[in-house]
Amino acid sequence: MNEQQNPDSSGGTLHMVTFRVGRSLLGIQIELVKEIHRMLDVTEIPGAHGIFKGLVNLRGKIVTVVDMNVALGQEETAGANPKLLILRTTGELLGVKRGDEIAVSLGYENEDSAGLFIDRIEETVVVDGDAIRPVPPNLDEKKKMLLSGVIKHNNELILLLNVSRVIHRCREESAVP
Partner 1 sequence: MNEDPELLAGFLDEATENLSVIEPDLLALEKHGDGTDPEIINRIFRAIHSIKGGAGFFGLENVGRISHEMESLLALLRDKKIAVTQELMDLLFDSFDVVKNLFADLSASDEMDIENAVQRVIRQREASTGEAPSAERMKPRKKERAPATKPQAKTAAPASAKPAPGAASSQHLAGLIDSGRYVYHVRLDTEWPDDAHRWMNDIEHLGQVVSPVDGEGNSVDLAASVDSRKPVRFYYSTVLDPDLIAGALQVPEEAVEQVTLDTLERMEEASRASIAAAAAAEPGEEPEAPPAEETAAQPESSALADLRKRKMADEKLRVSVNLLNDLMDLAGELVLARNQLGEVIRISDTGSQPLQHAMQNVSWVTTEIQEKIMSLRMQPLGVLFSKFPRTVRDLSKKTGKQIELVMKGEEVELDKTIIELLVDPMTHLVRNAVDHGIESPAERRQSGKPAGGQIRFDAYHEGGQVHIDIYDNGKGLDPAKIAASALEKDLLTAEELDSMSEREKLRIIFMPGFSTVEQVSSLSGRGVGMDVVLKNIESLGGSVDIESSVGEGTRFGLVLPLTLAIVKGLVFQVSGRRFIIPEVNIDELVRVRVEEIRHRVNMVQGVQVLRLRDRLLPILDLARLLRLSEGDEARLSTDASATPAGSNGRGLATRERAQQRTVQFVIVRFGASLFAMQVDAVDTVDEIVVKPLPGFFQKMRHYSGATVLGDGSVSLILDPAGMAAAVGVREFEDEAAEAKSEAEKEQERLQETVSMLLFDNGTDERFAMPLPLISRIERIRPEKIEWIRDNPYYQYRGEKLRLISLHDVLPIARPEKPLEGEIGVLVPKTYKHPVGIVFKNIIDTIESTVELDTESIMAPGLFGSSVLEGKITLMPNMYEIFDMVFPEPVGKGGAGRSKSKLKSGKAPSLLVVDDTPFFRMMEKKYLESAGFRVKLAENGHEALELLNKERFDAVVLDIIMPGMNGFEVMSEIRKRSNLADLPVIAVTSLEDRASREHGREVGFDDWEEKLDRERLVEKVWELLGVRAGDENG
Q: Give 30's DSSP letter.
A: G
Sole window of 16-24, 40-48, 79-87, 121-129 interacting with partner 1 (rule: CB under 8 A): 40-48
Task: Provide the CA 64 distance to its chain's centre, in angstroms.
Answer: 13
For residues 108 and 153, which CB has a smaller minimum distance to partner 1 in the complex?
108
Minimum CB–partner distance for residue 104 and partner 1 (Å): 21
Spatial distance between the Cα atoms of 138 and 65, rounded to a whole number of angstroms: 29
Minimum CB–partner distance for residue 112 and partner 1 (Å): 4
Exposed / middle / buried, residue 85 (Cβ in 10 Å: 0-12, 13-18, 19+): buried
**Residue 38 lies near partner 1 (rule: CB under 8 A):** no
Q: Which residue of 12, 60, 154, 155 would you call a contact of partner 1, by CB under 8 A?
A: 60
For residues 17 and 114, which CB has a smaller minimum distance to partner 1 in the complex?
114
Answer whether 120's CB lies under 8 Å from 50's CB: no
Which of 125, 116, 167, 121 lies closest to 145 in space, CA to CA?
Answer: 167
Half-sphere exposure of 72 (CA within 13 A, CB side): 24
Minimum CB–partner distance for residue 111 and partner 1 (Å): 6
Residues 106-145 that bind partner 1 (CB under 8 A): 111-114
Positions in the binding site for partner 1 (CB under 8 A):
41-48, 52, 54-57, 60, 62, 64, 111-114, 170-171, 173-175, 177
